[in-house]
């Protein structure tokens, strides 16, 4: 073999060391799967405790209310209504008896008093759809919405209500005839008086002077209906009877028109019952 042939053979075999087939190639290291990442523990938000219930205020007893009634949608304009209320309370539940003999059920939540219900009025039925007043000590104020229908016509309106435990004037117990009648005055169109019948047939007189031409409405209520009966009378300054209410249901109501400067008398007439039966008068002028 010639030297040239040997060199060619040797030279041709050199690449074998680096050009081997795939079976002789160096394998890549295996791919490693990273360990799973554990998220940090989630701390739940702090639990807010429920608010401490606010105990209901005590609203039991006698209240005297002045309501500005917006009945424009019913064609009656705006008018003032005076009503006495007697409230009975059992924790947060209340029942109300008004000076027109209507009863309602409601609730007290803290210092918020609410009630709804229906009552007969103007030949139809009025429904209190919402009523809420806020009590502050011996005073209260709030608003109400109502609807009215007689089955054919209907309308709606609102009421702005203020009330107090302290608006009533207590009778003098020395008012048994017109000459010594207890004088009463209207404040913002309303007045209230409380009294007792010392004996049956012992009349109680209250005197008013009308400041402006007005329709005067008087309600007599809240005596012990089970054992007592009262009637209610309006007299003019000449002691002529203007109106009388002697209903059997125990809630009396009279109404009459007077001119500015007129004097009129409200007369409470005990008909039957024990001595010392109490009563409330509610008066408004429109």
Global confidence as pTM: 0.80
Q: DSSP secondary-structure letter at 202?
A: -
pLDDT digits 0-9 by tens, 213-239: 999 999 999 877 677 889 999 999 999
Q: Which CATH architecture has domain 168-285?
A: Sandwich (2.60)
Query: 9: pLDDT confidence band, cut at 50, 70 and 90?
Result: very low
CB 108 within 8 A of CB 59: yes
What pLDDT band is residue 26 in, cutting at 50, 70 and 90? Answer: low
3-state secondary structure of 8: helix
| Better pLDDT: 173 or 253 | 253
Q: What is the pLDDT of residue 25?
A: 54
Q: Mean of the pLDDT values across residues 31-59?
A: 83
pLDDT, position 38: 80
Domain residue spans of the chain: 61-164, 168-285
Task: Among 3.40.980.10, 3.40.50.1820, 2.40.50.100, 2.40.128.30, name the CATH number for the domain at 61-164.
Answer: 2.40.128.30
Place of tokens 């005055």: 185
DSSP for 152-189, please give it: S-EEEEEEEEEEESS-EEEP-S--SSGGGPEE---BTT
Task: Measure the CA–CA gap between 227 and 197, rounded to whole angstroms.
Answer: 13
The encoded tokens of residue 282 equal 């509610």
Query: Which comes out higher in pLDDT, residue 276 or 168?
Result: 168
How many Å from the N-terminal Cα to the C-terminal Cα in the chain? 146
Buried b / exposed e along 72-91 (16+ C-beta atoms within 10 A): eebeeeebbbbbbbbbebee
Strand ranges of the sheet holding 263-272, from the earlier edge strand across to the other edge? 182-183, 204-209, 263-272, 229-236, 241-245
Give just the sign of the alpha carbon dihedral 268, 273, 274, 278. Answer: negative
Map residue 72 onto helix, strand or coil: helix
For residue range 48-91, list pLDDT tens digits in order: 888 777 899 999 999 999 999 999 999 999 999 999 999 999 99
Spatial distance between the Cα atoms of 196 and 165, rounded to a whole number of angstroms: 18
Give me the percent of the chain exceeding a pLDDT of 90: 69
**Cα 190 from Cα 218, distance rounded (Å):** 10
* CB count in 10 Å sphere of residue 35: 6
């Amino acid at each position: 073999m010639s030297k040239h042939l040997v060199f060619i053979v040797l030279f041709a075999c050199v690449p074998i060391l680096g050009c081997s087939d795939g079976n002789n190639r160096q394998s890549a290291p295996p791919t490693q799967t990273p360990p799973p990442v554990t998220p940090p523990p989630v701390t739940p938000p702090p639990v807010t405790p429920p608010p401490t219930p606010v105990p209901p205020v005590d609203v039991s007893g006698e209240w005297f209310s002045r309501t500005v009634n917006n009945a424009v949608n019913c064609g009656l304009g705006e008018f003032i209504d005076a009503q006495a209320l007697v409230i009975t309370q059992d924790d947060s539940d209340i029942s109300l008896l008004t000076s027109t003999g209507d009863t309602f059920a409601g609730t007290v939540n803290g210092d918020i008093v609410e009630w709804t219900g229906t009552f007969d009025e103007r030949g139809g039925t009025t429904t209190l759809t919402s009523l809420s007043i806020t009590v502050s000590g011996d005073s209260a104020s709030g608003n109400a919405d109502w609807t009215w229908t007689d089955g054919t016509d209907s309308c709606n309106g609102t009421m702005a209500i203020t009330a107090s435990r302290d608006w009533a004037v207590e009778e003098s117990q020395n008012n048994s005839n017109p000459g010594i009648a207890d004088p009463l005055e209207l404040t913002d169109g309303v007045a209230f008086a409380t009294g007792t019948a010392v004996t049956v047939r012992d009349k109680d007189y209250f005197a008013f002077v009308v400041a402006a031409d007005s329709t005067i409405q008087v309600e007599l209520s809240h005596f012990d209906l089970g054992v007592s009966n009262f009637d209610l009378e309006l007299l003019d300054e000449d002691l002529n009877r203007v109106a009388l209410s002697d209903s059997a249901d125990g809630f009396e109501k009279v109404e009459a028109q007077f001119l500015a400067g007129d004097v009129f008398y409200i007369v409470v007439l005990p008909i039957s019952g024990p001595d010392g039966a109490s009563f409330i008068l509610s008066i408004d002028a429109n």
